[in-house]
Chains A and B, each alone.
Chain A
Amino acid sequence: MATETLKPDLADTGASEELEPPHRQPDPPATATFRVWRGDREGGQLVDYTTSVSPGMVVLDAIHQIQADQANDLAVRWNCKAGKCGSCSAEVNGMPKLMCMTRLSELPLEKPVTVEPMRSFPPVKDLVTDVSWNFRVKTRIKPFRPRAPDAADGTWRMTQPDVDRVQEFRKCIECFLCQDVCHVLRDHQLQEEFIGPRFLVHVAALEMHPLDVEDRVADLRRAHGIGYCNITKCCTQVCPEHITITDNAIIPLKERVVDEFFDPLGRVLKVFSRGGKA
């Protein structure tokens, strides 16, 4: 099952030796240990840091405390600290999460909390990965093309329900957690063939946009590799914006592909299981 891939790969990390955290409290009433992946492109290991814990703290706060007091060069991305920018994606205890929205009170603190970078992307340093592939993928998708304006002043008329349908997809904060868990990218590394759930959501947002007149269905099938998705729904489970990626975006897109190519869904799935191109 694809959920298997969520488990942290601890096999060769030789975790938790060395580095006695300098600020360890003798009697720690409110401390927790964080087992953080430290390393770069060449490799790395998990390193334990113990830091104090206060009410309401999130994982990102702990990482920042460690950075300020114990490891000034600990690399991590963040911006908003409120789940709005999608910068602080990581794997916390093996689960893909936004660190700024993961409260310590949700985690078992009796044992170390592992914090690792997203594993589907090449490591850069510590918790920072090279996500540039995602930005390149987007430019392969045909851009928005609106119909002619409805009114003489160059504006359009749309109803709220029309807009609501697409706004779900436009909530995406590009955290790439869905890309991180999708086994097509994570295990099969089909980055060249498959654009991944984030960009299927993007295509859905464009295709179902009330004003858009571009046709991306042929691209979906070939260039975007929608056939590789076998609807495991792992992407939907991790989406911090609660976008129903599979049911609301991918399946309707698959239906459009099927309609256009008279291609039964079953065959698409079979093609996938053979590992071939749709």
Chain B
Amino acid sequence: MPDYQTFDHDVLVVGAGGAGLRAAIAASAAGAKVGLVCKSLLGKAHTVMAEGGVAAALANVDDRDSWRVHFADTMRGGQYLNNWRMAELHAREAPDRVRELEAWGALFDRTPDGRILQRNFGGHKYPRLAHVGDRTGLEMIRTLQDHAVYQGIDVHMECTLVRLLTDGGRVAGALGYDRERGRFRLFRCRAIVLATGGIGRAYSITSNSWEYTGDGQALAYGAGAALQDMEFVQFHPTGMIWPPSVRGILVTEGVRGEGGVLLNRQGKRFMFDDIPENYRNQTADNEEEGWRYTQGDKSARRPPELLTRDHVARSILREVREGRGSPHGGVFLDIAWIKRRLPQAREHIIKKLPSMYHQFKQLADIDITTTPMEVGPTTHYVMGGIRVDGDTQRSTLPGLFAAGECAAGLHGANRLGGNSLSDLLVFGKRAGEFAAAFAREHAGVTVDSGQVEDAVRCALAPFERGAGADGRGPYQVQQDLQTMMQELVGIVRTEPEMARALDGIARLAEQARQVGVAGNREYNPGWHTALDLPNLLTISEAVTRAAIERRESRGGHFREDFPEKDPTWGKFNIVVRRGSDGRMQLSREPIPPLPAELAAIIEEQK
């Protein structure tokens, strides 16, 4: 007598953020019977929090923009570790995907002639981000959600997957539990699209919610799929830092796009102090030019505040470490100063950045139209993830596809702001279509009941151990891991520290195996946290091992012991797999050479 309900689908989509919703819509349109599972309620996934906008070379604001420039910007931002095929498809297809949203009801801000308005963002040469004030993610997820619910997709809300099931090296299904009752659900299917988002919860200071425990990456790894680029974690330069309870919450880059400047405690705009060589041609060298850029002057170059996120984050860290930080260990982000330039500055700020205004007013008692904000870096995004084929989003495990933040490739060593929302749309659609095709072309597989029973047994083990066996609950283990990763595998890394982190991870993994929980299976967050721990530990180990392996500094990965970029490292992605002995194995996979056409584009855009 099985202790689970069974559901049959052609394609199972895991995750209801932008990537999962777009994949489910595409798979369903391709004729597949689609199931969609997510840990939260519909519409609450991370995508809802995105603020700044979605990048697409619509060329509505600056007609010099094109997919070629977007492609070159994405590759430059990613320091050429990107899967160039993904970067190409993304740049080519993003405009259509954004226009499609409009056909489904999304309402973006407008240009004077009635088209979709675009704003400046770090690393994008021209104004490129379609947006709705600073709540673009909400507009996007709601549009997709409201479209998807009419497509005959079976939605399983508040259901968490704990294991992928395989049959002869192919995906056969997945096991999950519903949060509400704690009952198990077996999903049998021919193809799975993972769209589970990121790993931010491995760190203590993060803009990410409880959902971001690296489940998709860890499930795929556990089932035998390869991960890549895990050393590249993006620390967003501007998170809130005060009061303590809001530490990490994001302050959108849009603030800088609208003219906000970074100041140290001496009131100095320190971003002018260190402009990297490969961006010097594109960066303003005086305040006046920077301001004109933010106001749409096409002849001006962008201010240094809009350099890539890794660079801005490290510059902030430098100011703090050298004693020029703000009272609570960050720097100042000032948008209020624009009143010296604009007559209606206050109204302008509230109009352009309504949720930032609201957020600071309500959570920090600060009026951003009069007072500078205090900000510091926060763990934001993982460039690495499941290794996929650029065209189809297929992983190295047959039948398993991945899209969105949990997949790797598009962003290389560093993601540009706005390139995630467009990533979700472009590759969500592709993953859904190719998963549906795979399901159509491949006969059914059988689920091995032994695998199911083992997964159920593992999931229930924390109850058998009972709470407080050794006094350490799941939350304490999670917190220790977060603190350790933040300290030892954070923005600035060294080999000895990361070696200590590996020891720490092994110790915490041992504790995680002993963690017990009290209460029953009904909506029990203690139990849920206990089940998230193995995933967090797996991806923390992958991040750490890959970061030790890469002995250079590039994009989101900065090694104090190897502070320079090393061209030989620019030729490889680091790939992580589970070895046959169950241990984590690393390899260097050469990046295929750029086709001449793409190489020429990069050259011409230098």
Contacts and interface: CB of A to CB of B under 8 A. Distances in A.
Contacts of A125: 180, 522-523
Q: Which of A58, A78, A86, A144 has the most CB of B within 10 A?
A: A144
A139 B133 CA distance: 27
B362 interface: yes
Nearest to A161: B110
Contacts of B133: 167
B107 A84 contact: no
The majority secondary structure among interface residues of chain A is loop
Contacts of A86: 43-44
A261 B426 CA distance: 45
Interface stretch (B281-289, B451-459, B467-475): B467-475
Contacts of B209: 78-81, 85
Interface stretch (B85-93, B146-154, B271-279, B342-350): B146-154
A54 interface: yes
Contacts of A128: 180, 523
Contacts of B480: none
A72 B522 contact: no
Interface residues of A, number: 62
Interface string A121-145: 0001110101110010011000110
A166 interface: yes
Given A82-B49, A143-B146, A73 B249 contact: no
Given A72-B473, A81-B209, A103-B363, A170 B142 contact: yes
Q: Which of B40, B355, B476, B523 has the most CB of A within 10 A?
A: B523
A54 B245 contact: yes
Contacts of B524: 72-73, 75
A168 B363 CA distance: 22
Contacts of A68: 473, 475-476, 479
Interface string B356-372: 00110011100000000
Interface in B495-542: 517-520, 522-527, 529
A132 B179 CA distance: 14
Interface in A79-104: 79-87, 101, 103
B350 to A, nearest CB: 12
Chain B interface size, under 10 / 10 to 19 / 20 to 34 / 35 or more: 35 or more
B148 to A, nearest CB: 11
A233 to B, nearest CB: 21
A88 B301 CA distance: 43
B447 interface: no
B595 interface: no
Contacts of A146: 103, 105
B518 A73 contact: yes
Contact of A79 (B211, B475, B517): B211
Given A54-B243, A85-B49, A72 B363 contact: no
Nearest to B474: A72
A40 B520 CA distance: 11
Interface string B92-134: 0000000100111101111001110000000000000000110
A174 interface: yes
Contacts of A160: 109-110
A61 B249 CA distance: 13
A189 to B, nearest CB: 22
Contacts of B231: none
Contacts of A69: 475
A11 interface: no
Contacts of B245: 54, 56-58, 61
B464 to A, nearest CB: 16
B364 to A, nearest CB: 7
Given A54-B245, A68-B475, A144-B105, A73 B526 contact: yes
18 contacts: A68-B473, A72-B517, A73-B518, A73-B526, A73-B527, A79-B46, A81-B209, A83-B362, A85-B209, A87-B40, A87-B41, A135-B41, A135-B42, A135-B157, A157-B115, A163-B110, A170-B107, A170-B132
Interface of A: 40, 54-58, 61, 67-69, 72-87, 101, 103, 124-126, 128, 130-132, 135, 138-139, 143-144, 146, 149, 154-160, 162-163, 166-167, 170-171, 173-174, 206, 209-212
Given A73-B527, A81-B209, 7 more contacts: A56-B243, A56-B364, A68-B473, A73-B519, A135-B157, A138-B146, A167-B107
Interface of B: 40-46, 48-49, 99, 102-105, 107-110, 113-115, 132-133, 135, 137-139, 142, 146-147, 149-150, 157, 180, 209-211, 242-246, 249-250, 355, 358-359, 362-364, 467, 473-476, 479, 517-520, 522-527, 529
